[in-house]
Amino acid sequence: MNFEIKRLTEENSFAVAEIEKLCFSSPWSEATVASEIKSSLSDFFGAFCGNELAGYIGGRTVADETEIFNVAVSPKFRRNGIAGKLIEKFIETVRKKETRVIFLEVRTGNLPAISLYEKNGFVFCGIRKNYYTNPTENALLMRLAFDGTQEYEDWDDDE
């Protein structure tokens, strides 16, 4: 399958919100998506098959840390390597900003996503208890450090 990865703009907010509805139990609204896309701190990329948005990734960099908010691929486009290419593009972009580390949360039961993040160098660094709803589930906190170290101080959200 051929797809092209491009930076998203506010005009893509509706398509992103539609993918959110297909992929997440608590999807972002179109207004929230638009607000994040237009933020100067955020980077959002989409994978397009022709004119159709097949998937996207978005996150925000503050100082020298980046957080990936969401990675989602429309069900009809899954299993084509789209999520992996989106992650690669995102990592390449934030590295140029001299970010030191990227963080993300993922449902503990989302084994395909966890495997994909690990393939891209992310490692486990914590748990956020009952982070997700619909259904309630813990989140694994994962990180990718660019300084070559993957050690992280042990901490607990309950402290």
58 bridge partner residues: 44, 70
Any catalytic annotation for residue 105? yes
Any catalytic annotation for residue 11? no
CB 57 within 8 A of CB 70: yes
CB 72 within 8 A of CB 24: yes
Q: Which is it for the CA torsion 66, 56, 8, 119, positive or negative? A: positive
Residue 134, phi-psi category: left (phi > 0), alpha (psi -120 to 50), beta (remainder): left
One of 56, 105, 132, 152 is an active-site residue; which one? 105
One of 36, 56, 117, 132 is an active-site residue; which one? 117
Nearest to 64 by CA among 80, 45, 85, 41: 41
CB 104 within 8 A of CB 68: yes
Residue numbers annotated as active site: 105, 117
